[in-house]
Structure 1
Amino acid sequence: MSRSFGANIDKVINESHDANIISRPGRDTLASLTYMLQKKRIDILLGYPSEHYYLAHSMGFEDDLTQLSLTEAPALSIGYIGCTKNKQGEVTVKLLDEALEKIAHTDAFHDVLVRWLPDNLQPILEKRLKDRNESAAH
């Protein structure tokens, strides 16, 4: 509910009327859907790799989880910040954007990103971070 995975993936989801797509509101929707995935009540779950890996680890089945990258996914998203749309919100977003840009190039930020990322997806993230840092340097 109210989640976006980028324009390309959102388009596929929104135009797939023949697919059996379940949208579940709730307190911890992702955890309950991950549990349903483990119990084979659903076949596929769309989300971010680190969140699924963390939940699968917490539920004790991370070795049974298969994760695939989507070619339609954006290369990298540092993060999103939402504030009230007013003058104070604009000032706050600007300050937070500047802070996020500074920390995005630190080892600590890198460590946070890879902590709950499966081994097979870490090289993809490493390349995207390297490419992003190289383009930011130019």
Structure 2
Amino acid sequence: MGKVAKLVFNFVTIFGLLMISPNALAEQVLWLKSLSGVDAKQQKSIHINESSIQLIRQFMPKMNFTEVLVNNRRAYSILASEPNACTGNKLKTSSRMEQYYFSDLPQSLSAGLRLFVIKDSELDRQLTRLYPGNQQVSVEQILQHDSLKVLGVVGGRSYGNKLDSVLTDKAIQTKLWSRTSSDMFIGLLKMLLRNRLQAIVEYPSVVNRYDKTLFENIELVSYPIKEAPEMGLGYIMCSKTQTGLALIAEFNRALELACQTPEYYQLHWDWNGQLSEGEFRHLYTKVYPTIKEPIE
């Protein structure tokens, strides 16, 4: 479908929904779907958003979803103008909460930044001694050790205020390798596998996107980072209208049911595939407290 055809389709879709009565509108969801979803190269990165909403929708049988492909700018415009617009996997902030309604539970869970190293390397053995039981690793402290000769990071990227403060310290710049080419992460990963770096900082879900043939016979292990948030959460967000409030109530009910299913648990574990099941189970039950016993 060409660009003009998409615009016409979206206009007709939205105009048609406006003709629905207010009562019926409460059962109509104008679901704003990211345009990146049609890019085959990004399929893995949008998997958690698309797959999780399909599982949630199974618990909303009376709701009619109309999907509209939009970029981020267009999505916020529609959320401001249409009473029944919703979208997924959004960061919940205080400023956004003034403008939109958010689900109580997150739609998606991604483990926070971790320090990836080669299993049984000198650095891995030292980390195991210093931080037994998979404790959080202090990047600031480990940069002082001789076993970490070079740490790989993506150039021009923010890792959050605390970690950025550590990584911009002039005293440790000789131990940093910052890659800024078009293949930033994959280049760092290859350098780690060739032992040109001793560690890299990345999200488990990002490492998990890449073909496992890259790893050959080398096994990676990761450690949670003290200077980074434990996890990232993406929420369902709807228009701040009476209809939007009613829709969020429906999403809340469906989410509470969906998150207790083995399918929802497995989807998120697959997404965070670089974590052990014990680590993932700890995060999952922390985020979804409605689960009384671990899902088998």
- Whether TM exceeds 0.5 here: the answer is yes
Query: What secondary structure, in the 3-state scheme, does the structure 2 residue paired with 1:12 have?
Result: helix
What is the rounded CA distance, in whole Å, between the counterparts of 1:54 and 1:16 in structure 2? 33
What is the rounded CA distance, in whole Å, between the counterparts of 1:133 and 1:126 in structure 2? 10
User: 5+ unaligned residues in a row in structure 2: which ranges?
Assistant: 1-154, 240-247, 291-296
Residue 78 (1) aligns with residue 233 (2): yes
Instruction: Identify if the C-alpha distance between structure 1 residues 23 and 124 changes in structure 2 by more than 3 Å, giving closer, same or farther.
Output: same
Residue 65 of structure 1 and its aligned partner are, at CA, apart by 1.4
- Give the alignment partner of residue 118 of structure 1, picking from 239, 256, 274: 274
- Contact map agreement 2:188 2:200 (CA 8 A) in 1: yes
Q: Tell me the matched-pair count.
A: 120
User: 5+ unaligned residues in a row in structure 1: which ranges?
Assistant: 81-92
Q: CA RMSD in A?
A: 3.5
What is the rounded CA distance, in whole Å, between the counterparts of 1:2 and 1:103 in structure 2? 36
Larger Rg: 2
Instruction: Identify if the C-alpha distance between structure 1 residues 24 and 134 changes in structure 2 by more than 3 Å, giving closer, same or farther.
Output: same
Residue 64 (1) aligns with residue 219 (2): yes
TM-score (norm 2): 0.33
- Contact map agreement 2:193 2:218 (CA 8 A) in 1: no
TM-score (norm 1): 0.63
Q: Relative contact order (C-alpha < 8 Å, sep 6+): which is higher?
A: 2
Residue 62 of structure 1 and its aligned partner are, at CA, apart by 6.7
Instruction: Identify if the C-alpha distance between structure 1 residues 55 and 17 changes in structure 2 by more than 3 Å, giving closer, same or farther.
Output: farther
* More strand, by proportion: 2
What is the rounded CA distance, in whole Å, between the counterparts of 1:74 and 1:48 in structure 2? 11
Q: Residues 45-76 of structure 1: CA distance to partner in whole angstroms, max 9, x if unpaired?
A: 11112322443724033752122221232122
The aligned residue for residue 124 of structure 2 is none
Kindly report which structure 2 residues correspond to 1:1-138, keeping only aligned pairs within 5 A, or say none: 1-15=155-169, 17-19=171-173, 20-55=175-210, 57-61=212-216, 63-79=218-234, 94-95=237-238, 106=259, 110-115=265-270, 116-120=272-276, 122-134=277-289
Residue 23 of structure 1 and its aligned partner are, at CA, apart by 1.8
